[in-house]
Amino acid sequence: MKYAVLIMNTPLAATLSADEYSAWNGEIFAWYDKYTANGKLADPGNQLDDVSKAKTIRGTTVTDGPFIEAKEVVGGYSVLEADTIDEAVEVAKTWPGVDRGLITLEVRPIVEQPAM
Amino acid sequence: MRYAMLIIGEEGDWSALSPADVDAEMARIYAWLEKWSAKIDEGGAELDSVKTAKTIRGGVVTDGPFIEAKEVVGGIIFLHTDTIEEAAAIAAEWPGVESGRTTIEVRPTVIR
């Protein structure tokens, strides 16, 4: 089964110094290397650029900015391969900074559509 | 450039549709996917209901989504276009956007 991990930055992440941020980035790169190598990561996905660069399309109107103003916003997306959601959660818990409250993660099953 | 399309809507909307309406909507979605296949990058996914989500915050795992909101992210599609305006124009054709049922947030991705 594939599970999506929505990666949300918390306000705490914005309080890091440049050095702390750079060290944290190193941990994140190491995490992706490790879980790519051991096959738990089906797709590393992407980091999304800042919400200030988003465009939202609602009805026939395009506006600058995200669809919802929130303290925590989706900042990235990855896909895990696991047998159960609990196994996916165990892997997700090791994402750097989750234990320190820098990041909140939402794990969701992916729906497999029949071939077109 | 690679852009992410976050597809956002109210989950109840789909369960309120008749099976025939669901089929018709899926046909419109498949037609959109086919029309824009040259612009669509790998890596997109339809996400299961937020009811099935688990959230990890500060080491604590809870059932449900990270935020309680009427509109939730239900899927993600990656587009490859020259500009965000081009991506937004393609996103505007996603079925249900015009009628206001679905909202799309288009975001640039960060290349590392």
ipTM of the complex: 0.87
What was the pLDDT predicted at B71?
A: 87
What was the pLDDT predicted at A72?
A: 84
Residue A65 has pLDDT above 60, yes or no: yes
Q: Does the A2-109 domain belong in CATH 3.30.70.1060?
A: yes
Contacts of B50 in chain A (CB under 8 A): 108
What was the pLDDT predicted at B70?
A: 84
> pLDDT by residue for chain B (112 residues), tens digit each?
999 999 999 887 777 889 999 899 899 999 999 999 999 999 899 999 999 999 999 889 999 998 888 889 999 999 999 999 999 999 999 998 998 889 999 999 997 6
Tell me how far CA of residue B72 lies from CA of A24, A65, B10, B41, B53, in angstroms.
Answer: 29, 16, 6, 22, 12
Contacts of A100 in chain B (CB under 8 A): 58
How many whole angstroms separate alpha carbon B45 and alpha carbon A35?
A: 20
Place of tokens 């395009």: A62
Closest Cα in chain B to A60: B98
* A3 contacts: CB under 8 Å, gap ≥ 6: A79, A80, A81, A82, A85, A88, A107, A108, A109, A110
**Contact state of A99 with B59 under an 8 Å Cβ cutoff:** yes
Q: In the CATH scheme, what is the code of domain B2-108?
A: 3.30.70.1060
Among residues B40, B61, B63, which one has the least CA distance to residue B53?
B63
Among residues B86, B72, B60, which one has the least CA distance to residue B14?
B72
What was the pLDDT predicted at A116?
A: 43
- Residue B26's identity, in one-letter code, is M
Which of B1, B6, B14 to mutate to test binding with chain A, by most A CBs within 10 Å of its CB?
B6
Distance from CA of B5 to the nearest CA of A (A): 9
Question: Are residues B11 and B82 in contact, defined by beta-carbon separation less than 8 angstroms?
Answer: no
A2-9/A103-111 β-pairing: antiparallel
- In tens, the pLDDT along A69-108 reads 788 889 999 999 999 999 999 999 999 999 999 999 999 9
CA angle, A51 then A110 then B74, to 5°:
45
Whole-model pTM: value is: 0.90
Domain ranges of chain B: 2-108
What rounded mean pLDDT belongs to chain A? Answer: 92
